[in-house]
Amino acid sequence: MRELNESQKRDIRMYGITEAEMREEVEQDLIYRYSSPAMLAASLMSDAQEMIDPEYGKVNAKRTEYARQFLNRAKWVLFEYCMKETA
């Protein structure tokens, strides 16, 4: 296993993966490729909602953490792909 630098460790705490891995995942995602980055962000937010909805099972710390990371991923997509397009 490779040694992570401080920035990569921070990324993993915030997103669950590094920024480089996230960029790769985003750019391979079908929603991103055939719709828009904003739709991908909306999809990530919907996934986060489902993670904290008791209808889909017991909400525990692990699911709450995943939901937080998915919301951070959605924000990252908005800032990296949507906001830069309008600037």
Nearest to 77 by CA among 34, 25, 30, 7: 25
Location of structure tokens 């600037």: 87
Report the alpha-carbon distance of residue 49 to residue 71 in Å, rounded.
Answer: 9
In sequence order, what are the residues at sequence separation of 6 or more whose Cβ sits closer than 8 angstroms to the Cβ of residue 27? 33
Other C-beta atoms closer than 10 Å to the C-beta of 84 total 10
Q: In the structure, what pLDDT confidence band is assigned to residue 83 with cuts at 50, 70 and 90?
A: confident
What's the pTM? 0.90
* pLDDT tens for each residue of 18-71: 999 999 999 999 999 999 999 999 999 999 999 999 999 999 999 999 999 999
